[in-house]
Amino acid sequence: MFDQPPPNRPQSTDQKVRVIVIDDEPLAREGVRALLSSDPEVDVVDVCASGVSAVRKIVELSPDLVFLDIQMPGMNGFDVVRTIGAQDMPVVIFATAYDRYALDAFEAHAVEYLLKPFSDERFHEALSRGKLAVRERRMAELGEKLSALLQTVAGGGPPANNPAAPQRLAVRGARSTYFLAVEDIDWIEGADYYASVHSAGKTHLVRESLASLAERLGSQGFVRVHRSAIVNARRVKEIVSTPRRDQVAVLRDGTRIRLARGARARLEAQLRHRE
């Protein structure tokens, strides 16, 4: 997965949504570009005809949103996500002529899924959801920066014995709500509007942003190691460097989570604190 320093991404929530269109079919690319051109909130920063060029442009331009075709020769849409890393991907709207890929698309954290051929109405519905996800992500990033600034000004994070720190996390099922002990959580993965809480080999979906969970659990030994991942420091077995010089946290159950730049120092500080 890529660990490149991103270019200057627009931070204001009212700036245009920067989009890349990725499709190997020229007519499909131009069709999506034409539909996007009618939206004053959107700026199409590039179009790509292959998965390989898409990976290069996503790393280079750091768009907010991508329209990503699944069926492409060589490197398909899912390969693009795997190469970049799901946690590093912009908001994704998948498009394909084959509905059998729908479940896989949402498992790859797509915010929307367009089945070709689609109507203009269906396209703009998907675009609206995509823009909403971009705005929510921008707000979360701004909130994280403000929280970090306030902690720095205050001389550090909240005390470890913070009485407001949650001991259990409410998980709502189809018919009931149960409570998961915070100390039993291994790590948490951001998934647009939700967060996937991993515990004892099971995954629980919580309707709360990763930024909110990071703030609430920060005094409980949880560390934000990436834009899309929080790790329970108690579950970290070791931190290793890969041949590509990525930094990876290895949990006790073998789960490997790549660390963003600067996250290793924060995680090691928490580990020393917990010794």
What are 128-152's pLDDT values in tens digits? 989 988 888 777 666 555 555 555 5
What kind and span of H or E run contains 256?
strand 256-259
Give the Cα separation of 234 and 211 in Å (integer).
20
Summarize pLDDT for 180-203 with one digit per residue, the tens.
888 899 999 886 667 888 988 888
Q: What are the chain's domains?
A: 17-140 (3.40.50.2300), 158-274 (2.40.50.1020)
Give the Cα separation of 130 and 136 in Å (integer).
10
Cut 0.75: pTM above it: no
How large is the average pLDDT for residues 244-261?
88
Residue 109 has pLDDT above 70, yes or no: no
Write the CA distances from 263 to 16, 187, 223, 224, 267, integer angstroms. Answer: 29, 15, 8, 7, 6
Contact yes or no for 187/251 (Cβ under 8 A) = yes
Which residue(s) pair with 238 in the sheet? Answer: 250
Give the Cα separation of 256 and 241 in Å (integer).
11
Output the six-digit token pair for 135.
Answer: 């705005």
**Alpha helix ranges (H) inside the chain:** 26-37, 51-61, 77-84, 102-107, 120-153, 210-217, 263-274
pLDDT score, position 81: 85
80 CB-side CA count, 13 A: 32
pLDDT score, position 3: 44
pLDDT score, position 51: 93
Write the CA distances from 142 to 9, 100, 137, integer angstroms. Answer: 12, 37, 9
Q: Which residues contact 111 (CB under 8 A, 6 or more apart)?
A: 91, 92, 93, 129, 130, 133, 192
